[in-house]
Amino acid sequence: MKYLYFTFSLFPVLLILIILQMCLLMCNSSYLMYNEALSKSIMFFEGQRSGFLPNDQRINWRGNSGLGDGSSINADLTGGYYDAGDNVKFGFPMAFTTTMLAWSVIEFGDMMPTGELRNALVAIRWSTDYLLKTVAQPDRIVVQDELLWGAAWLRRASQGENYLAYIQNNGKTLGAEDNINEFGWDNKHAGLNVLVSKEVLEGNFYALESYKASADTFMCTLIPESSSSHIEYTSGGLIYRPGGSNLQHSTTITFLLLVYAKYLEQSSGSVNCGNIIVGPTSLRKIAKRQVDYILGENPKGMSYMVGYSDRYPQRIHHRGSSLPSTRDHPQVIQCKEGSIYFNSSDPNPNVLIGALVGGPGEDDEYEDDRADFRKSEPTTYINAPFVGALAFFAANPNPI
């Protein structure tokens, strides 16, 4: 009987140990390690650098490149970022990337660990140094600027009355009131409206009310319970828009949700969506669902950030990542000689840590296929707004 008593008395202890072990396994495999994701999302930009690389370059398979950029017009246009998987520096996407990195720091930089804040500022400077070169020569601008978007930021930075007047007088003419349910490098209306709304919510400028009304309308399109809802979600919960590279829509909209929630909370405001009143908590809930989906809480059970968690895309559409590094293959690889690597079923030899790929389709499916660039190609303008979102959730993993 003593033997039986001893056996049964151990049973609860063994059960507790099993439960604890299961808990530890679950915790260790959690997708939601926001600090790690933040660090990697910023590191990604080092893998997109063009020009002479610094000694503290962390993604060390990337070498110096584009050292003759601008020489054909007798200008120094070295530096900046390749916007995606090929070696091209597009002006609009790079300017948008830079703005979104800077906006991330402006709104959420105080939530970043000191080291990551420094890394984010370095990432911004790498781009701004290049962009300044594009306007360095008299009577020559190599990149384009957008008027309302630029005026809104100049107003934010300087509080200049001339910029305020421009925003007030040109919003309707330049399409700020157009209700377009997206935000990206080629359409900035939603971001413009959120940015300008800050002054309205702070109670200063009712002449800008039309911008806030447009921002409210945009937010209402994201609320599934709203009568005006028309943003599409996949069955797994991801914001979806046709056309490929879908995560660019999810990350930019997620960022706007968090920024607008911040502005609303600071002013004790809310959004009237007709049949429902929406506050900061509701907006953050939608934003968190997007972030968690991207990091792995999705039907595929995989992270769409390279190098994060145990399951992530291995065959991304990216020239530098899919070709062998010059350290391993010092011989020049001619253009057509790269096909063997492009068509290979092997994982990419160089891991582009922190890269967010284009992501799954409307059916939540993702085939790890290098040739399917709409799903497998990373871009700087997908990552940049995600930096701000991750900074917020790293500091507020369970926001209210």
d(CA 384, CA 363): 25
* Catalytic entry in 46, 182, 216, 368: 368
3-state DSSP of the chain: CHHHHHHHHHHHHHHHHHHHHHHHHHHHCCCCCHHHHHHHHHHHHHHHECECCCCCCCCCCCCCECCCCCHHHCCCCCCCECCCCCCCCCHHHHHHHHHHHHHHHHHHHHHCCHHHHHHHHHHHHHHHHHHHHCCCCCCCCCCCCCHHHHHHHHHHHHCCHHHHHHHHHHCCCCCCCCCCCCCECCECHHHHHHHHHHHHHCCCCHHHHHHHHHHHHHHHCCCCCCCCCCCEECCCCCEECCCCCCHHHHHHHHHHHHHHHHHHHHCCCCEECCCCEECHHHHHHHHHHHHHHHHCCCCCCCCCECCCCCCCCCCCCCHHHHCCCCCCCCCCCCHHHHHHHHCCCCCCCCCCCCCECCCCCCCCCCCCCCCCHHHHCCCHHHHHHHHHHHHHHHHCCCCC
Whether 86 is catalytic: yes
* Catalytic entry in 69, 182, 249, 317: 317
* Catalytic entry in 46, 86, 129, 346: 86
For helices 380-395 and 280-295, what crossing angle results, to 10°?
Answer: 120
* Catalytic entry in 83, 116, 199, 377: 377
On whether the CB atoms of residues 149 and 119 are closer than 8 A, the answer is no
Whether 161 is catalytic: no
For helices 34-43 and 380-395, what crossing angle results, to 10°?
Answer: 150
Whether 346 is catalytic: no
d(CA 179, CA 176): 8
Counting beta carbons within 10 angstroms of the beta carbon of residue 142, is it exposed (0 to 12), middle (13 to 18) or buried (19 or more)?
A: middle
**What residues act catalytically?**
86, 317, 368, 377
